[in-house]
Structure 1
Amino acid sequence: MTSGRRSLPVRLVHGVRVAGGAFALMWQAAPRTVLLSLALQVSGALVSGGMLLAVRGMAGTVFGPHAAAWRPGAVAADLALLAGMLAAMALAGSLQRGVGMVLGERVGWYAFRQVLDVACEVELAAFDSSEFHQRLQRAQGSAHRPIQMTEQLISLAGSVVTISGMVSALYLIDPVLVAVLALAAAPPLVASATFGRKLFTAVVGLGENDMRRHYVRSLMTERNHAKEVRAFGLGRYLRRLDRDLFDERLTIMRAVARRTSVHALVAAMASALGILSGVGLLAYSFATGHSSLTAAATAAVAVVQLGPMLSNVTYGLGESYEHALFLSDYRAFCARGETIRRARERARLPAPRDPATITAENVTFRYTGAVRPALSGVSMTIRRGEVIALVGENGSGKTTLAKVLSGLYEPQGGRIRWDGVDLRDIDAAGVRERTAVLFQDFGRYLFTAAENIRIGRPAAPADLARVQHAARQAGAHEFVSALEHGYDNVLGSELPGGVDLSLGQWQRVALARAFFRDAPLVILDEPTASMDAFAEHRLFKGIQNLFAGRTIILISHRFSSVRTADRIYTLDAGRIIEAGSHDELMAAGGTYARMFELQSSAYLREAAATPVGRHHRPAGRA
């Protein structure tokens, strides 16, 4: 049953259930702060009820049957009590604001941490799905809902207790007034719940719009796109696109506002009519002699005070129902993390410490929404200590195969075995622990140079000598040492004191990260794409020595870089079409040989066209 078709009682029950979940979230985040907040709310509410009774007693003294005999001293005690209660309420309110602020921060952090848990633990394939990105964005947007619901619940708790105290006092004066006020509170509750449901439906429907707006705005605000936005003069175009997307969103939100405003107006009029009925009932009761002037006046004040308070509470309940809808969606997203954790807790075999063989058996893999498989019927065996090269045109499946072999992706068909054991039966974290990867689109972290390298193995001790050793192996030590603060210098100009690097220097830092990880399986995806020719030559000349004893999967478009590999696989359209050493593949005269000769002839033509004296021109910034 969809939320749109649920009856009001069912929706309210669902809202109460989710509100209970929100309270549980509050309790998990900060139990002592919750208790303190509730204690302050109850104290303030009790004082409110006592104030009403104190006013009634003082009115009886002044206007009651013995009013002629009263003296100023007769009400001094009541005035002192009333002043004390006012001071107590002010103190409780002041403390409550501070406690509520701290509690909101604690709950907000705790709620967003759960979203981050899922984002970090979910399988890599999920990030290839637009549906997951929409749910992730909604969960991120809803992470503030627990804060709002926390504040709402705290406010409602205090208001409900306050109203309970006043209603109890009112019940002693005239029980019929309680029923009248309850009827007056019903219309705003219905209207507010309707608004919450329609708003949630609209927000879910705007998921794609929100994602597009976020992306368009990132193009205008992020450093990575700044140069191209200016080079192509995209600013006006992107601003117009952002405006069109915003107008689309605004049109939908205005429609929601128009539909719900009518309900709100009718509800407000009905509620006001109920309050007026209560006042009229009191006037009639006094006129007919059924109640005294003191009782009628006190009850009239209570009714007038309670009217707005009840409206606020009912609208608050409606807002809580709105929060509950978003929180229900948020909790469903976070439950995914719990499912992943339970799956990992099942009996899983430990990953081999240093696998002797890695085998692919008829592996098939297709990306979400892709027309054809990225891999189809791939079979191969890699032995410990081998250097394996994957070559082929863009989109041939090289990077995907490397990710599947290392357990980052799970194949839809066939299997990957490490030492004969299916990766599906091995602890995934253990597999990744034994893999070092340098992706072509490597990360550039706005951390210090040392941290950029050390996060290759974040659990390792902060050993600067080991960090420097990894940097030397990657050819990064010289330029990192030359920075103003050396390895303590922040990389990236976006942060204060940070310094930017050339793309080739960033790639060497990323390579140092792979060295620092010190894993038995090393995947190098275009490891020299941003390096100059000299750095590339030095790296590949010593790659077998630098990664001695480790299994290396090397992906490269530069055939001169892979010719020393133990075995070369040529991929085309997700299939392996050739395999062998460089000499074997050249002798076969197939695709590899043609591509190698084509690339070699291009280099020779370029060298012949280059004037003497320019062959060793120092490379500029990549």
Structure 2
Amino acid sequence: MQYFNLLVRYSRILVRSLPLIWQAAPKEVTFLTCTMIVRGIVPGFGIWINKQIVDAVASGLNSPQLDNYGSLFSLVFAWVAAILLQSILEPFYEANFKNITEKLSAHINLLILDKANSFSDLIYFEDAHFYNEIQLIEEEVNRQPFRLILFFADGCQYLLNLITMLILLSPLGWWIPLLLLLASFPKVYFSFKIQWDIWQTMSKKSPQTRKMKYYSSVLLTDTYAKEVRLFGLGSLFKQRYIEAFADKYQAMRKIRGKQAWNLSIWEILSAGSNATAFYRVVIKAVNNQITAGNVLLFIQALNNIQTSLQVLFNEFFSLQEALIFMERLFKFLDSQPTMELTFSDKNLPTSIASGIVFENVSFAYPDGRIALERVSFTLEPGKTIALVGENGAGKTTIIKLLSRLYDPSAGKILIDGIDLKKLDLNQWRQQIAVVFQDFCRYSLTVGENIALGDLTALEKLETLKLAARKAGIADKIDRLEYQYQTLLGKQFDGTELSGGEWQKIAIARAFIREKRSQLLVLDEPTAALDPRSEYEIYNRFSELVQNKTAILVTHRLASVSMCDLIMVLKAGKLIELGTHRDLLQQQGEYAHLWQIQAQAYQI
């Protein structure tokens, strides 16, 4: 019953998977189907012609003169034509097969990209289990579709070939095709059972496989190269790799040995059945009940049947792996967005009048971690607010909620009295310029990296230059060989920047959209900058946020004294709120943090 349910499950996935091939390449699939049918029938046709030729030759040897040379010539011509047709089709078949594979991989990739892009929030991407599923899909997307097409093409071809051979054998005795098939069923069944056990074992040992991959990456990638050599970690990670491999290998070796013994036993049964059928055919030929051509037909057909069964057997288990991938893919494609997008007549204020209000906002991550708990504050238009606190206090979470990368678990975020959930999401995000602490480094040109903040600026060189000057990176760009056309990043052999220079590019990316945005958010904007660059950024901070509502997240309290309001967060709670002077007078958490940092600069 377990295997029957498994077969039903796989059948459903296959039925849903095959239309994807047609959607990806309808013309190529049509051609592939036609060539597949020809390739499946031609071997049987060739065997039948061989029989006719042998019978004709045997007949001629028994008579003083062969009467029908024209008939024999026609048979030879047909035999040559069949071989030639298959040979001519082969390169076109291979080229078409590769074209379909590439198109299908691209089609599935686009489906994945569209689906991932449809998630407006970050819930799925910060859910470890779901994100791991996405990673597994991404790793297999260029390999598993090949198996799916291989089953469609080769599997169907050899199935057609098998049916043709059984039809050719049926005139020799109705029981012969039946015997050959029945002898193969036990082998197929037990092979399926053992293969299923292999899959289960591989699944249980998948953590060891991931560990092996991780240990290899530690020794082979530049991310860890410095510490591995400095601390002499090579032997440690090599040993960990060996231990993980040994654990996986022992389990797989045992089950593969079991598979080999079982298959050997059923091969003996299959060989006995083949011998019985062959013996009966030979006896019939000796007794002149069938012709010599029929003996040749049996030998060639039996060889083709064994080949077809072996290919189908292998293709089935190859298909099984592909269907497991497709099931994972469909589960991802069927996942529903967690963020509700409402469409109403409430327009985004062109200029925020009363301010942004957090009203008893709480938030918990998918793993249950509470990031914010009943936080309330008001950010008035044109004012600058600083978020201060230790790591994990909830500062970045507030930024993500304000950007609506999450929705609050409880409470409301109001924009001029309107719930943020009721505003057009894209319009709202266009009003925010953000520099995240974990900013991105894109393998694009300098100009493209900056213009990602506002794609309408891609061809506006002066706008790009202005943003670069505000971020303090313009002089560096001017010294590059191709300036704003310089490709960045090592991935495509571009120019690599220092961490601080990359951060300035990210800051420029935020400034590029300042004319369109009402809210500027800087999340640790100087974390990777040298003291001089940091001083320059903060020295011009008032200029940069002029006429903007701004939020500054930083650990460096010397930079927040210029802010209109300072919020102090601890363990997800707002514990202090006020100006720099007010908070120092309160002698609370902010004053304590200020004194710690001030003492670090005392000589």
TM-score (norm 1): 0.88
Equivalent position of 2:468 in the other structure: 471
The equivalent position to 1:379 in structure 2, one of 376, 381, 389, is 376
Equivalent position of 1:541 in the other structure: 539
Which amino acid in 2 is paired with 1:327?
A: M
Query: Structure 1 residues 348 and 21, CA, compared in 2 at 3 Å: closer, same or farther?
Result: farther
Equivalent position of 2:394 in the other structure: 397
Equivalent position of 1:620 in the other structure: none
For the 8 Å contact 1:275–1:304, the answer to whether it is kept is no
Residue 562 of structure 2: SS of its match in structure 1? coil
Identity of aligned residues (%): 27
Residue 480 of structure 2: SS of its match in structure 1? coil
Deviations 1:41-76 (A, max 9, x none): 112223223212212221221224995132693522
Please state how far the C-alpha of 1:331 moved relative to its aligned partner: 2.0
Say whether 1:514 aligns with 2:510: yes
Once residues 145 and 27 of structure 1 are traced to their aligned partners in structure 2, the CA distance between those partners, rounded to angstroms, is 16
Once residues 97 and 530 of structure 2 are traced to their aligned partners in structure 1, the CA distance between those partners, rounded to angstroms, is 57
Please state how far the C-alpha of 1:207 moved relative to its aligned partner: 4.2
Equivalent position of 2:437 in the other structure: 440
Equivalent position of 2:315 in the other structure: 316
Which amino acid in 2 is paired with 1:504?
A: G
Equivalent position of 1:278 in the other structure: 277
For the 8 Å contact 1:181–1:274, the answer to whether it is kept is yes
Say whether 1:17 aligns with 2:12: yes
Tell me the number of residue pairs that the alignment of Structure 1 and Structure 2 aligns: 595
Once residues 250 and 329 of structure 2 are traced to their aligned partners in structure 1, the CA distance between those partners, rounded to angstroms, is 26
The equivalent position to 1:107 in structure 2, one of 81, 104, 107, is 104
Query: Structure 1 residues 583 and 213, CA, compared in 2 at 3 Å: closer, same or farther?
Result: same
Please state how far the C-alpha of 1:556 moved relative to its aligned partner: 0.8
Query: Structure 1 residues 177 and 64, CA, compared in 2 at 3 Å: closer, same or farther?
Result: farther
Residue 370 of structure 2: SS of its match in structure 1? coil
Once residues 501 and 404 of structure 2 are traced to their aligned partners in structure 1, the CA distance between those partners, rounded to angstroms, is 29
Query: Structure 1 residues 297 and 269, CA, compared in 2 at 3 Å: closer, same or farther?
Result: same
Equivalent position of 2:529 in the other structure: 531
For the 8 Å contact 1:134–1:211, the answer to whether it is kept is no
Query: Structure 1 residues 313 and 595, CA, compared in 2 at 3 Å: closer, same or farther?
Result: closer
Equivalent position of 2:152 in the other structure: 153
Once residues 236 and 379 of structure 2 are traced to their aligned partners in structure 1, the CA distance between those partners, rounded to angstroms, is 50
Which amino acid in 2 is paired with 1:87?
A: L
Once residues 69 and 553 of structure 2 are traced to their aligned partners in structure 1, the CA distance between those partners, rounded to angstroms, is 95
The equivalent position to 1:33 in structure 2, one of 12, 18, 28, is 28
For the 8 Å contact 1:365–1:375, the answer to whether it is kept is yes
Please state how far the C-alpha of 1:83 moved relative to its aligned partner: 0.8
Residue 512 of structure 2: SS of its match in structure 1? helix
Once residues 305 and 562 of structure 2 are traced to their aligned partners in structure 1, the CA distance between those partners, rounded to angstroms, is 85
Once residues 334 and 373 of structure 2 are traced to their aligned partners in structure 1, the CA distance between those partners, rounded to angstroms, is 33
Residue 506 of structure 1: SS of its match in structure 2? helix
Once residues 204 and 75 of structure 2 are traced to their aligned partners in structure 1, the CA distance between those partners, rounded to angstroms, is 58
Structure 1 unaligned regions, length at least 5: 1-5, 610-622
Structure 2 unaligned regions, length at least 5: none
Say whether 1:175 aligns with 2:183: no
Residue 230 of structure 1: SS of its match in structure 2? helix
The equivalent position to 1:585 in structure 2, one of 583, 586, 592, is 583
Which of 551-560 and 436-445 deviates more? 436-445
Once residues 21 and 291 of structure 2 are traced to their aligned partners in structure 1, the CA distance between those partners, rounded to angstroms, is 47
Alignment of 1:257-272 (within 5 A): 257-272=256-271
Please state how far the C-alpha of 1:561 moved relative to its aligned partner: 0.8
Deviations 1:152-174 (A, max 9, x none): 22101111222233333333443
Which amino acid in 2 is paired with 1:201?
A: Q
For the 8 Å contact 1:159–1:309, the answer to whether it is kept is yes
Query: Structure 1 residues 112 and 205, CA, compared in 2 at 3 Å: closer, same or farther?
Result: farther
For the 8 Å contact 2:159–2:308, the answer to whether it is kept is no
Once residues 298 and 513 of structure 2 are traced to their aligned partners in structure 1, the CA distance between those partners, rounded to angstroms, is 75
TM-score (norm 2): 0.90
For the 8 Å contact 1:286–1:296, the answer to whether it is kept is yes
Say whether 1:96 aligns with 2:90: no
Query: Structure 1 residues 252 and 459, CA, compared in 2 at 3 Å: closer, same or farther?
Result: farther
Deviations 1:134-168 (A, max 9, x none): 32233234322121121122101111222233333
Which amino acid in 1 is paired with 2:449?
A: N
For the 8 Å contact 1:192–1:319, the answer to whether it is kept is no
Residue 552 of structure 2: SS of its match in structure 1? strand
Deviations 1:86-114 (A, max 9, x none): 11111122221111122112222223343
Please state how far the C-alpha of 1:289 moved relative to its aligned partner: 5.4
Deviations 1:404-436 (A, max 9, x none): 222122332333333434444445444434332
Once residues 189 and 350 of structure 1 are traced to their aligned partners in structure 2, the CA distance between those partners, rounded to angstroms, is 64
Once residues 524 and 416 of structure 1 are traced to their aligned partners in structure 2, the CA distance between those partners, rounded to angstroms, is 19
Which amino acid in 2 is paired with 1:9?
A: F
For the 8 Å contact 1:213–1:245, the answer to whether it is kept is yes
Once residues 199 and 424 of structure 2 are traced to their aligned partners in structure 1, the CA distance between those partners, rounded to angstroms, is 39
Once residues 205 and 211 of structure 1 are traced to their aligned partners in structure 2, the CA distance between those partners, rounded to angstroms, is 12
Once residues 248 and 459 of structure 1 are traced to their aligned partners in structure 2, the CA distance between those partners, rounded to angstroms, is 55
Query: Structure 1 residues 421 and 240, CA, compared in 2 at 3 Å: closer, same or farther?
Result: farther
Which amino acid in 1 is paired with 2:348?
A: P
Residue 357 of structure 2: SS of its match in structure 1? strand
The equivalent position to 1:142 in structure 2, one of 137, 140, 143, is 140
Once residues 121 and 200 of structure 1 are traced to their aligned partners in structure 2, the CA distance between those partners, rounded to angstroms, is 33
The equivalent position to 1:503 in structure 2, one of 496, 499, 504, is 499
Residue 333 of structure 1: SS of its match in structure 2? helix
Equivalent position of 1:73 in the other structure: 69
Once residues 108 and 255 of structure 1 are traced to their aligned partners in structure 2, the CA distance between those partners, rounded to angstroms, is 35
Which amino acid in 1 is paired with 2:448?
A: E
Say whether 1:53 aligns with 2:48: yes
Which amino acid in 1 is paired with 2:17?
A: A
Equivalent position of 1:600 in the other structure: 598
Query: Structure 1 residues 215 and 119, CA, compared in 2 at 3 Å: closer, same or farther?
Result: farther
Which amino acid in 2 is paired with 1:28?
A: Q
Query: Structure 1 residues 349 and 289, CA, compared in 2 at 3 Å: closer, same or farther?
Result: farther
Once residues 366 and 375 of structure 2 are traced to their aligned partners in structure 1, the CA distance between those partners, rounded to angstroms, is 19
Which amino acid in 2 is paired with 1:125?
A: I
Once residues 213 and 423 of structure 2 are traced to their aligned partners in structure 1, the CA distance between those partners, rounded to angstroms, is 38
Which amino acid in 1 is paired with 2:433?
A: A
Equivalent position of 1:480 in the other structure: 477
For the 8 Å contact 2:35–2:93, the answer to whether it is kept is yes
Query: Structure 1 residues 96 and 350, CA, compared in 2 at 3 Å: closer, same or farther?
Result: farther
Which amino acid in 1 is paired with 2:234?
A: G
Once residues 250 and 115 of structure 2 are traced to their aligned partners in structure 1, the CA distance between those partners, rounded to angstroms, is 33
Which amino acid in 2 is paired with 1:48?
A: P
Which of 515-524 and 412-421 deviates more? 412-421
Equivalent position of 1:3 in the other structure: none
For the 8 Å contact 1:358–1:418, the answer to whether it is kept is yes
Residue 409 of structure 1: SS of its match in structure 2? coil
Deviations 1:572-592 (A, max 9, x none): 111101111222222333222
Equivalent position of 2:325 in the other structure: 326
Query: Structure 1 residues 349 and 376, CA, compared in 2 at 3 Å: closer, same or farther?
Result: farther
Please state how far the C-alpha of 1:350 moved relative to its aligned partner: 7.1
Query: Structure 1 residues 81 and 440, CA, compared in 2 at 3 Å: closer, same or farther?
Result: same
Equivalent position of 1:417 in the other structure: 414
RMSD, aligned CA = 2.8
Which of 71-80 and 16-25 deviates more? 71-80
Please state how far the C-alpha of 1:328 moved relative to its aligned partner: 1.6
Please state how far the C-alpha of 1:285 moved relative to its aligned partner: 3.7
Query: Structure 1 residues 503 and 8, CA, compared in 2 at 3 Å: closer, same or farther?
Result: closer
